[in-house]
């Protein structure tokens, strides 16, 4: 392995949790490098469903799990996640390391986001309301508080009071909403810090030392390439960089240490939140896929929009991330169809578009051009090897890999760990 990155190559929810869990069996360390608890990685262990939001998926395999410096962390949510997983027999506390450089999500971030989404009205982004955007805003504005800032209590008091004075003005005067109580925020933070103090450190040292020792380190991307703040469908994006390139800044390692980049992609497409979605199917078809695909947000529970596989999207991801292999998930959801359209290109104003557009207004005008592939109308969920799949399913997988520009090395055909085909 040594340094392997798993990135989402669509709009998030590609089943990265399943892919990371599969690869984590051979990993020594699993590292999250960006985002926060807007992510939701679902893994089924037998009949039990686990959804992790902040803690890297590696904890489910008992692996050392790092919350990297590029993340934004709500310590209260982390504690809840620890308690919930521990109560179900998963050891979290001794297995996690939290970067002192990661920024904190504080109560006012969530309040501001709620108000801001309301203010946007029809132009709302449809965020997860976890305070992600406002926390990254403060990071970029250099007024954020980092996990490491919790140690020096005097400095924490001063900085927190200063930050809250400003945020309360904003909440009360601009949004006419209620503010937060600085003493309560301070007290809660200090209690959380006391709990996690032994887990907080310079995580980039841990990761680099592991790589120097030729250990297997797995970098767990969150969200997806099309939600990248720079290269996604701006402004309908998240506030961080899910791209593989962010591993270096978010985990604190040089680019030359990355060996392998795997893109996770659904055999079709799904999308939550607002923004254009060229291959969206009609609601009747979406309904047929939602139940077998479990297409409800693992963080918010929202029903996801569903579309056919869009090779324009995944091709862009292959290019931007340097994806050399694809893990195709949810193939079994397509078992029911006679024919399966695959988007091979876009037409905009009667002209063919060579690449996925960067401007949202251009994307909104794009019409998908489809190639229709024959379905296989049989159960793929029991396939143990690629040759077990029906001919048309194999052709489908090969074709989407070819269109996206990367070979498919993993095919997942169900939610269970065993329903994984490794080529």
Residues binding ligand IMP (CB under 6 A): 12-13, 38-40, 125-128, 130, 132-133, 222-223, 227, 236, 238-239, 272-273
Using a CB cutoff of 8 Å and minimum separation of 24, what contacts does 179-182 make? 179/108, 179/111, 180/107, 180/108, 180/111
In three-state secondary structure terms, 66 is strand
Indicate the DSSP class of residue 250: H
* 227, 228, 233, 234 alpha-carbon torsion, rounded to 10°: 120
Cα–Cα–Cα angle for 58, 144, 141, rounded to 5 degrees: 120
Contact 44, 415 (CB under 8 A): yes
CB of 235 to ligand IMP, least distance (A): 9
Give whichever of 126 and 405 is closer to ligand IMP, judged by the CB atom.
126
Q: How far apart (Å, rounded) are the C-alpha atoms in residues 384 and 239? A: 39
CB of 291 to ligand IMP, least distance (A): 19
CB of 119 to ligand IMP, least distance (A): 15
Cα–Cα–Cα angle for 220, 224, 229, rounded to 5 degrees: 110
Contact 233, 363 (CB under 8 A): yes
CB of 262 to ligand IMP, least distance (A): 17
CB of 288 to ligand IMP, least distance (A): 21
Strands (E) located in 291-365 = 305-307, 309-310, 325-329, 339-348, 351-353
CB of 95 to ligand IMP, least distance (A): 22
Per-residue burial over 287-305, b = 16 or more CB atoms within 10 Å of its CB, e = otherwise: eebbebbbbebbbbeeebb
CB of 28 to ligand IMP, least distance (A): 25
Name, in order, each residue with C-beta under 8 angstroms of 131's C-beta and a sequence gap of 6 or more: 36, 72, 74, 105, 106, 107, 109, 110, 112, 113
Asked if 41 is an active-site residue, the reply is yes
- Report which secondary-structure segment, H or E, holds 366: strand 366-374
Asked if 13 is an active-site residue, the reply is yes
Q: Pick the catalytic residue: 13, 28, 228, 310?
A: 13
Q: Pick the catalytic residue: 21, 28, 41, 310?
A: 41
Question: Residue 381: is it exposed, middle or buried by C-beta count within 10 angstroms (0-12/13-18/19+)?
Answer: middle
Q: How far apart (Å, rounded) are the C-alpha atoms in residues 94 and 61? A: 13
In three-state secondary structure terms, 31 is strand
CB of 232 to ligand IMP, least distance (A): 9
Q: Is the N-terminal amide bond of 235 cis, ω within 30° of 0?
A: yes
Q: How many C-beta atoms surround the C-beta of residue 186 within 10 A?
A: 16
**DSSP letter string over 129-168?**
-SSHHHHHHHHHTT---BGGGGS-HHHHHHHHHHHHHHHH
Name, in order, each residue with C-beta under 8 angstroms of 398's C-beta and a sequence gap of 6 or more: 408
Give whichever of 129 and 156 is closer to ligand IMP, judged by the CB atom.
129
Contact 385, 418 (CB under 8 A): no
Give whichever of 23 and 132 is closer to ligand IMP, judged by the CB atom.
132
Active site residues: 13, 41
């Amino acid at each position: 392995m040594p340094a392997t990155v798993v990135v989402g190559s669509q709009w998030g929810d590609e089943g990265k949790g399943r892919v990371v869990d599969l690869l984590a069996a051979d990993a020594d360390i699993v590292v999250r490098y960006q985002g926060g608890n807007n992510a939701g990685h679902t893994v089924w262990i037998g009949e039990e469903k686990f959804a992790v939001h902040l803690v890297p998926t590696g904890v489910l395999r008992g692996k050392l799990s790092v919350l990297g410096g590029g993340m934004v962390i709500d310590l209260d949510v982390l504690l809840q996640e620890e308690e919930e997983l521990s109560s179900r027999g998963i050891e979290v506390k001794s297995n996690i390391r939290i970067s002192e450089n990661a920024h904190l999500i504080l109560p006012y971030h969530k309040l501001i986001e709620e108000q801001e989404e309301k203010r946007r009205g029809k132009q709302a982004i449809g965020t997860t309301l976890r305070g992600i955007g406002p926390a990254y805003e403060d990071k970029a504005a250099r007024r954020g508080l980092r996990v490491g800032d919790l140690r020096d209590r005097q400095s924490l008091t001063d900085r927190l009071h200063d930050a809250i004075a400003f945020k309360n003005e904003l909440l009360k005067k601009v949004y006419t909403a209620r503010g937060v109580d600085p003493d309560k925020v301070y007290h809660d933070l200090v209690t959380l810090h006391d709990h996690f103090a032994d887990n907080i450190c310079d995580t980039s040292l841990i990761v680099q030392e592991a790589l120097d020792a030729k250990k297997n380190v797995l970098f767990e991307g969150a969200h997806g390439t099309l939600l990248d703040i720079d290269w996604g469908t701006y402004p309908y994006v998240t506030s961080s960089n899910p791209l593989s390139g962010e591993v270096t800044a978010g985990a604190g390692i040089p680019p030359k240490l990355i060996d392998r980049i795997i893109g996770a992609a659904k055999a079709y497409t799904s999308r939550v939140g607002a923004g254009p979605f060229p291959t969206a199917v009609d609601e009747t078809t979406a309904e047929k896929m939602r139940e077998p695909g479990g297409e409800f947000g693992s963080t918010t529970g929202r029903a996801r929009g569903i579309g056919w596989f869009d090779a324009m999207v995944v091709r862009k991801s292959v290019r931007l991330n340097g994806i050399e292999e694809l893990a195709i998930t949810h193939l079994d959801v397509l078992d029911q169809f006679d024919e399966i359209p695959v988007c091979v290109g876009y037409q905009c104003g009667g002209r063919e578009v060579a690449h996925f557009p960067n401007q949202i207004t251009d994307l909104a005008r794009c019409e998908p051009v489809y190639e229709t592939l024959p379905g296989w109308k049989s159960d793929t969920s029991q396939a143990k090897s690629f040759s077990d799949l029906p001919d048309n399913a194999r052709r489908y997988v090969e074709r989407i890999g070819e269109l996206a520009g990367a070979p498919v090395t993993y095919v997942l055909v169900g939610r269970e760990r065993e329903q994984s085909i490794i080529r």
